[in-house]
């Protein structure tokens, strides 16, 4: 069994709501943030479907941040964004003149929403420009790139968050609290499914490994990995994985379907399945005295679930993206906990690399050392 990192794994998981994120977070003061600001300006880098359909509309509902600028390689998109969100010319950038954003006092946060292989470059450039950074998931395409982003943000004394919207979602928080407080006892088996059918455009960047870095695992799989971690309320110590393809002619450059099995120090076991050719939207925890399930666990709509005693988990309609971006803004403005820090993005990439390594070695168990 091969170690992935050299850091010592701590099996002493803190109890209660303060430990839900399973990551260390020490709020700090950021010198680059004006102290008199009530709302932070965000610039979206990349105006694809996620920015257009989710982040932009979400920023119309936020309380502590707002859309202040855009960065795009498609100049034809600029007029409609300027009109819809009242963005001035001086806050519209191309990829080529992006670095001049350093001089723009309207923009406090840069949200990188580009293909995965471009995350590290633009996150590092944003940090060097003195802007706080949100990086859409996955944080990067390798652990080394995650380290480079983390180091750049630390050197520039700017905040770094990952676009894990579920970390700010109320039904998900309730699920995590039920596990953490042992309402149904210790979890024995935890499972998570995350996937969808990505048919349509065969030239989409998510099917191009040079842009995506991977397939279903790096896209939807990180949701499933997060799901079993907060369902188990501890970090896994090993993983075994397999890859399958039901249509290798279409999914010929990236992974289509991956399954993985996890062990935890407490004895809990877990499994995930993630796919670009099958739907999956569930997290399930079988515990000593019952079970807890989210049967709408990752989608943009209402997140809901139930338990073995008939308890319903349903916080109603939410803009997950608005909640996520407001939480990050409050981290900067008020010193609130960063719910999805760079360390979390790196942790998940360590697990993804271990999954790929297990597959490459024919399903060998790979030891994980996480903190």
Give the residue with greater pLDDT, 282 vs 14. 282
| Unique residue bearing structure tokens 């005693």 | 309
How high is the pLDDT of residue 93?
Answer: 98
> In Å, how far are 228, 240, 242, 326 from 351, measured between CA atoms?
12, 11, 14, 28
How high is the pLDDT of residue 201?
Answer: 86
Q: What is the pLDDT of residues 302-357, one digit of tens each?
A: 999 999 999 999 999 999 999 999 999 999 999 999 999 999 999 999 999 999 99
How high is the pLDDT of residue 142?
Answer: 98
What percent of the chain has a predicted confidence (pLDDT) above 90? 88
How high is the pLDDT of residue 199?
Answer: 85
Classified by CATH at the fold level, domain 38-165 comes out as: Rossmann fold (3.40.50)
Is the predicted pLDDT of residue 31 greater than 70, yes or no?
no
307: helix, strand or coil: strand
Is the predicted pLDDT of residue 16 greater than 60, yes or no?
no
Q: Give the largest CA-CA distance in the chain.
A: 59
Q: How many CB atoms lie within 10 A of CB 71?
A: 25
d(CA 105, CA 327): 21
pTM of the model: 0.92
Q: With bands split at pLDDT 50, 70 and 90, how would you rate the model's confidence at 26? A: very low
d(CA 251, CA 248): 5
Residue 192's DSSP bridge partners are: 272, 283
Q: What are the residue boundaries of the structural domains of the chain, listed by start?
A: 38-165, 170-317+341-367
Q: With bands split at pLDDT 50, 70 and 90, how would you rate the model's confidence at 25? A: very low
Domain 170-317+341-367 in this protein, CATH class: alpha beta
Give the residue with greater pLDDT, 28 vs 136. 136
The mean of the pLDDT values for the chain is 92
Using left for φ > 0, alpha for ψ between -120 and 50, and beta otherwise, residue 86 falls in left
User: Across residues 106-132, what is the average pLDDT?
Assistant: 98
Tokens of 25: 């977070």
Is the predicted pLDDT of residue 27 greater than 80, yes or no?
no
């Amino acid at each position: 069994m091969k170690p992935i990192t050299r850091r010592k794994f701590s099996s002493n998981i803190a109890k209660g709501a303060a430990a839900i994120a399973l990551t260390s977070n020490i709020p700090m003061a950021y010198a680059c943030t004006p102290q008199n600001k009530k709302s932070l300006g965000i610039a979206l880098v990349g105006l694809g479907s996620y920015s257009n359909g989710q982040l932009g509309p979400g920023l119309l509902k936020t309380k502590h941040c707002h859309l202040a600028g855009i960065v795009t390689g498609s100049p034809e998109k600029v007029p409609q964004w300027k009109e819809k969100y009242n963005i001035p010319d001086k806050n519209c950038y191309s990829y080529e003149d992006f670095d001049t954003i350093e001089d723009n006092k309207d923009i406090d946060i840069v949200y990188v929403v580009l293909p995965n292989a471009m995350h590290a470059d633009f996150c590092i450039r944003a940090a060097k420009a003195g802007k706080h950074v949100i990086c859409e998931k996955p944080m990067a395409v390798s652990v080394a790139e995650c380290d480079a982003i983390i180091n750049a943000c630390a050197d520039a004394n700017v905040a770094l968050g990952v676009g894990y919207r579920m970390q700010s979602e109320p039904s998900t928080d309730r699920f995590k609290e039920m596990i953490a407080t042992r309402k149904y006892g210790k979890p024995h088996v935890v499972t998570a499914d995350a996937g969808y059918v990505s048919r349509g455009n065969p030239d989409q960047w998510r099917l191009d490994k040079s842009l995506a870095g991977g397939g279903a695992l790096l896209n939807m799989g990180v949701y499933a990995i997060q799901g079993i971690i907060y369902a188990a309320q501890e970090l896994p110590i090993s993983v075994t994985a397999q890859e399958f393809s039901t249509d290798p002619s279409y999914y010929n450059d990236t992974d289509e379907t991956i399954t993985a099995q996890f062990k935890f120090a407490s004895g809990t076991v877990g499994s995930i399945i993630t796919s670009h050719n099958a739907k999956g939207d569930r997290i399930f925890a079988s515990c000593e005295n019952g079970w807890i399930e989210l049967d709408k666990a990752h989608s943009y709509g209402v997140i809901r679930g139930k338990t073995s005693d008939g308890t319903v988990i349903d916080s109603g309609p939410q803009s997950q993206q608005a909640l996520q971006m407001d939480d990050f803004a409050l981290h900067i403005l008020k010193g609130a906990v960063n719910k999805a820090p760079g360390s979390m993005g790196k942790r998940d990439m360590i697990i993804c690399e271990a999954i790929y390594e297990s597959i490459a070695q024919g399903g060998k168990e790979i030891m994980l050392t996480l903190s």
